[in-house]
Chains A and B, each alone.
Chain A
Amino acid sequence: AQTVTQSQPEMSVQEAETVTLSCTYDTSESDYYLFWYKQPPSRQMILVIRQEAYKQQNATENRFSVNFQKAAKSFSLKISDSQLGDAAMYFCACRNAGNMLTFGGGTRLMVKP
């Protein structure tokens, strides 16, 4: 079994500033993947960034980067130069070798103009 925990139900950031969303996970598997998904009001699930557990280097996608701390089982998402369009629900997820995807409870990000 695996669990994913997002301790921040809501976060707020000023436009153009940087914000970090927290995520911790627990899994008994050695081979797994971690993801951050964005869900805007339209409720589409949009993949933001992914990290393979065997890679030590933190993944980066433009303004989005992660801080992957494998020993601590922590996988935080940093959004730089926040934009109004970044406002959404963000879900952290862990996928095991069997392809089962487990989501955290989500963090609602608000961006203030």
Chain B
Amino acid sequence: GAVVSQHPSWVICKSGTSVKIECRSLDFQATTMFWYRQFPKQSLMLMATSNEGSKATYEQGVEKDKFLINHASLTLSTLTVTSAHPEDSSFYICSAREKDRGQQPQHFGDGTRLSIL
């Protein structure tokens, strides 16, 4: 089955650090990738949608300069949390939609736990 690899799975860093999270589709091409954020005991909130080769579309209230998304290839999207602060601590999950299989469910990565000290 389709696999999405998300890396790192857990990162702890100091306030002010920029952190990059990678989302890779291992055995399929992903024209669209989605980035979600999940606070403890809460649901997943869509942050942005990224399409290969174009700018990401951010949801209302999400700072695009804070959360930089790059989707340079059909198998890789990255989310960079710039100058992270403790309030950015959260669980970040990506998902990917297979090229030419738009009706199929999205495939989720295992998530990244981000802890900012």
B-binding residues in A (CB < 8 A): 33, 35, 42-45, 47, 50, 91, 95, 99-106
Contacts and interface: CB of A to CB of B under 8 A. Distances in A.
Interface of B: 32, 34, 38, 42-46, 49, 91, 93, 95, 97, 102-103, 105-106, 108, 110-111, 113
Contact of B102 (A45, A47, A99): A99
Given A45-B108, A91-B43, 7 more contacts: A43-B113, A44-B108, A44-B111, A45-B95, A99-B49, A101-B95, A103-B43
Contacts, number: 44
B18 to A, nearest CB: 23
B91 A43 contact: yes
B110 A101 contact: no
Contacts of B91: 43
B110 A99 contact: no
Contacts of B43: 91, 103-106
B46 A102 contact: yes
Contacts of B103: 33
Contacts of A47: 105
B106 A99 contact: yes
